[in-house]
């Protein structure tokens, strides 16, 4: 804290000045008094001493004067040399002539006066002259003159110097005294002041001044600290009260804001709503003017008064409303009902939502009803429309579902018929051809037998077509169960082994490398292997030695299987047709087949969430790929 500089106005300086002035005054008065006293006594001593000396010289020289013995008188004067203060002496006879004289060495002889003066003391500068008549028996014999060194001014100046020196010393002492005073008086006061200033600046009422003395200042410090404590308590109480007040103000302003918001919202709501607001008394009568009601229904105010308002309601709906209202009145609860109300503007009844709530008095009696009328005509129409549309939609969905189901059933019975009825004629064709062949062999020539063979071959081919078609259509109908783990290596080897039974082992080299397992429908996946491996065998059958390699790998969460053969291959421009039903890239007299095998492969793989593709060059073999998703346990 900055201590202000009071300069000469400071207490310290005032104290100092007081001490100094007091000391100086005392010193001066004392010094002047002593000076006056000393100078005065000096003067008197000198005068008395010199007078006495002159008396002695006079008396001792009286005889010499009487006898005119100047020598004797001169000897007497010479005795004055023992008195260093006396510078000259002379004796004058009665006539005033110099009789004898003495002059101290170093003193001007002309200092002696030529004529004696009357008795008296004369002071001229540093010289004290005295004249004394020598009287003997009443006769004036002569005059003694003594000149002495008068040290009046020397003394004066000495005294002045002493007084000044003492004053200086006193000043120094006073200054030291003031330092002590500052320490013992000013500093505690300054401390208190500093604390007071700190308190003002920091508003910290816990500060306390340090009590260092037990005197009045200590008492002042105590009083100051007590005052601080009291101020602190008061301030705290005031601040607490202020905070409380602020909080209350904040609460009130918040409440006021909420109220304003609520008011605004309500006003907006009232403005925005198309509701009609009405009030009825406890007996459900309109007792006051109902402007909104009158405006909506077009009833003149006097007509809707009392029970008249009910006339605006559709007659069929009064009962519904009365029932609801009676229930609400008993329970003293709000009610709501949808009724038709006459709407003047559209000159017709419109559906409205009639709501009302009871206003209760202190005894829980219904004083009045406050209600609204909300036009829900359009909404209700829209709802009805939606209901109708929904119903229609549901009906259509139901019809479509039934159609689908019946189509499915038809399809099912169709394939049932196909499997049952189409086969029977085929069997008959084949059977009767053979019976013909058996029973009439002798009567048929070679050509006749060949024609019969053709009939039987074609019947057989049609049988295969029917079988494959049925198998393929079953694939679409049957749900695929992909929950089972399928060991593809095992499955492929099993299939290969079965297919190889009908073939010459030496002409085929069929390698199956370890294949990734998948989850899928084992029977369907088996069919995939059957079709692909038998295809590979079939189309490489024209080579001296069939070479077929089956491999598989897992990449990016999918298992890809690869069946490569060294067969006739196909032209890639027909690759798109490869997997279509009844699509064949080879003439049937080159390779047997119905064109369903690869379609089945594609359908099975697709239904497992996978894909198929093929790669080939004419005459350089073909490679078929199929990819299946590999699912982890978590899937």
Partner 1 sequence: MTDYDQVEILLAEDNARDAEMTMRALRRINLGNKVHWVKDGEEALDFLLRKGDYQDRDPSQLPKLILLDIKMPKVDGIEVLRQVKADETLQLIPVVVMTSSNEERDVVDSYRLGVNSYIVKPVHFAAFVETVANIGLYWVLTNRVPSEA
Q: Give whichever of 202 and 464 is closer to partner 1, judged by the CB atom.
A: 464
Q: Give whichever of 463 and 541 is closer to partner 1, judged by the CB atom.
A: 463
Structure tokens at 313: 């309601």
Q: Give whichever of 448 and 463 is closer to partner 1, judged by the CB atom.
A: 463
Structure tokens at 336: 């709501």
Regarding 470 and contact with partner 1 (CB under 8 A), the answer is yes
Q: Give whichever of 71 and 477 is closer to partner 1, judged by the CB atom.
A: 477
Regarding 241 and contact with partner 1 (CB under 8 A), the answer is no
Regarding 421 and contact with partner 1 (CB under 8 A), the answer is yes
Among 426, 444, 455, 500, binds partner 1 (CB under 8 A): 426
Residue 327 near residue 335 (C-beta atoms within 8 A): yes
Regarding 502 and contact with partner 1 (CB under 8 A), the answer is no
Number of residues near partner 1 (by CB under 8 A): 21
d(CA 151, CA 43): 9
Structure tokens at 583: 């699509």
Shortest reach from residue 551's CB to partner 1, in Å: 34
Regarding 625 and contact with partner 1 (CB under 8 A), the answer is no
Q: Token pair 């990449």 is at which residue? A: 555
Regarding 453 and contact with partner 1 (CB under 8 A), the answer is no
Regarding 434 and contact with partner 1 (CB under 8 A), the answer is yes
E strand or H helix at 508: strand 508-512
3-state SS assignment for residue 4: coil
Select from 103-111, 430-438, 557-565, 603-611 the region that touches partner 1 (CB under 8 A): 430-438
Task: Tell me how far CA of residue 108 lies from CA of 54, 102, 103, in angstroms.
Answer: 20, 11, 8
d(CA 280, CA 288): 8
d(CA 535, CA 545): 15
Nearest CA to 613 among 603, 627, 600? 627
Task: Tell me how far CA of residue 510 lies from CA of 65, 501, 540, in angstroms.
Answer: 193, 13, 11
Regarding 635 and contact with partner 1 (CB under 8 A), the answer is no
Shortest reach from residue 432's CB to partner 1, in Å: 7
Select from 145-153, 232-240, 424-432, 514-522 the region that touches partner 1 (CB under 8 A): 424-432
Q: Give whichever of 166 and 470 is closer to partner 1, judged by the CB atom.
A: 470
Residue 560 near residue 531 (C-beta atoms within 8 A): no
Buried-exposed string 420-439: b where 16+ CB fall within 10 A, e elsewhere: eebeeebeebbeebeebbee
d(CA 367, CA 50): 140
Q: Give whichever of 207 and 470 is closer to partner 1, judged by the CB atom.
A: 470
Select from 55-63, 262-270, 345-353, 457-465 the region that touches partner 1 (CB under 8 A): 457-465
Select from 14-22, 84-92, 429-437, 623-631 the region that touches partner 1 (CB under 8 A): 429-437
Select from 3-11, 278-286, 455-463, 493-501 the region that touches partner 1 (CB under 8 A): 455-463
DSSP string, 93-125: ETTS-EEEEEE-TTS-GGGS-SS---SEEEEET
Q: Give whichever of 227 and 411 is closer to partner 1, judged by the CB atom.
A: 411
d(CA 566, CA 551): 15
Regarding 364 and contact with partner 1 (CB under 8 A), the answer is no
Among 66, 241, 408, 460, binds partner 1 (CB under 8 A): 460
Shortest reach from residue 492's CB to partner 1, in Å: 25
Shortest reach from residue 527's CB to partner 1, in Å: 15
Regarding 347 and contact with partner 1 (CB under 8 A), the answer is no
Shortest reach from residue 469's CB to partner 1, in Å: 12
Structure tokens at 121: 């003391």
Residue 313 near residue 339 (C-beta atoms within 8 A): yes
Regarding 428 and contact with partner 1 (CB under 8 A), the answer is yes
Taking the CB of residue 27, how many other CB atoms lie within 10 A of it? 18
Q: Give whichever of 129 and 430 is closer to partner 1, judged by the CB atom.
A: 430
Site residues, partner 1 (CB under 8 A): 416, 419-421, 423-428, 430-435, 456, 459-460, 463, 470
């Amino acid at each position: 804290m900055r201590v202000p500089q009071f300069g000469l106005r400071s207490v310290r300086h005032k104290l100092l000045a007081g001490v100094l002035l007091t000391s100086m005054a005392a010193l001066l008065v004392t010094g002047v008094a002593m000076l006056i006293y000393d100078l005065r006594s000096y003067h008197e001593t000198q005068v008395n001493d010199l007078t006495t000396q002159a008396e002695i010289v006079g008396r001792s020289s009286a005889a010499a004067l009487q006898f005119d013995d100047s020598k004797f008188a001169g000897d007497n004067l010479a005795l004055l040399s023992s008195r260093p203060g006396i510078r000259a002496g002379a004796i004058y006879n009665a006539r005033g002539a110099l009789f004898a004289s003495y002059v101290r060495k170093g003193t001007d002889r002309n200092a002696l006066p030529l004529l004696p003066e009357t008795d008296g003391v004369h002071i001229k500068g540093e010289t004290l002259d005295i004249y004394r008549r020598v009287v003997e028996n009443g006769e004036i014999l002569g005059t003694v003159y003594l000149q002495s060194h008068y040290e009046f001014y020397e003394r004066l100046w000495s005294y002045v110097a002493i007084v000044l020196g003492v004053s200086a010393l006193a000043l120094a002492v006073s200054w030291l005294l003031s330092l002590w005073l500052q320490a013992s008086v000013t500093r505690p006061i300054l401390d208190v002041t500093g604390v007071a200033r700190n308190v003002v600046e920091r508003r910290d009422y816990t500060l306390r001044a340090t009590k260092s003395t037990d005197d009045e200042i200590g008492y002042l410090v105590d009083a100051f600290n007590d005052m601080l404590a009291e101020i602190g308590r008061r301030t705290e109480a005031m601040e607490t009260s202020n905070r409380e007040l602020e909080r209350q103000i904040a609460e009130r302003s918040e409440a006021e804001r909420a109220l304003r918001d609520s008011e605004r919202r309500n006003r907006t709501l009232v403005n925005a709503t198309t509701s009609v607001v009405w009030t009825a008394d406890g007996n459900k009568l309109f007792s006051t003017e109902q402007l909104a009601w009158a405006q909506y229904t077009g009833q003149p105010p006097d007509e809707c008064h009392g029970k008249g308002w009910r006339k605006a309601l559709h007659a069929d709906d009064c009962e519904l409303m009365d029932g609801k209202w009676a229930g609400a009145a008993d329970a003293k609860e709000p009610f709501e009902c949808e009724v038709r109300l006459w709407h003047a503007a559209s000159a017709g009844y419109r559906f409205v939502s009639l709501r009302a709530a009871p206003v209760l008095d202190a005894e829980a009696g219904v004083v009045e009803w406050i209600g609204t009328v909300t036009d829900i005509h359009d909404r209700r129409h829209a709802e009805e429309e939606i209901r109708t549309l929904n119903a229609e939609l549901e009906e259509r969905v139901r019809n479509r579902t039934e159609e689908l189901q019946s189509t499915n059933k038809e399809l099912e019975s169709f394939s049932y018929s196909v499997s049952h009825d189409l086969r029977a004629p085929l069997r008959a064709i084949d059977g009767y051809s053979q019976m013909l062949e058996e029973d009439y062999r002798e009567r048929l020539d070679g050509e006749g037998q060949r024609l019969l063979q053709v009939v039987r071959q074609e019947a057989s081919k049609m049988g295969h077509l029917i079988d494959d078609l049925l198998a393929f259509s079953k694939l679409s109908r049957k749900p695929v169960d992909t929950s089972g783990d399928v060991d593809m290596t095992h499955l492929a080897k099993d299939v290969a082994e079965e297919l190889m039974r009908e073939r010459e082992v030496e002409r085929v080299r069929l390698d199956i490398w370890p294949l990734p397992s998948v989850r899928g429908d084992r029977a369907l996946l088996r069919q995939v292997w059957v079709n692909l491996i038998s295809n590979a065998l079939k189309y490489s059958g024209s080579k001296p030695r069939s070479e077929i390699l089956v491999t598989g790998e897992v990449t990016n969460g999918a298992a890809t299987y690869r069946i490569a053969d060294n067969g006739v291959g196909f032209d890639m421009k027909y690759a798109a047709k490869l997997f279509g039903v009844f699509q064949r890239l080879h003439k049937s007299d080159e390779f047997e087949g119905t064109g369903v095998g690869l379609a089945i492969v594609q359908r099975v793989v697709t239904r497992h969430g996978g894909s198929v593709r093929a790669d080939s060059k004419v005459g350089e073999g073909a490679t078929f790929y199929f990819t299946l998703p590999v699912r982890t346990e978590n899937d």
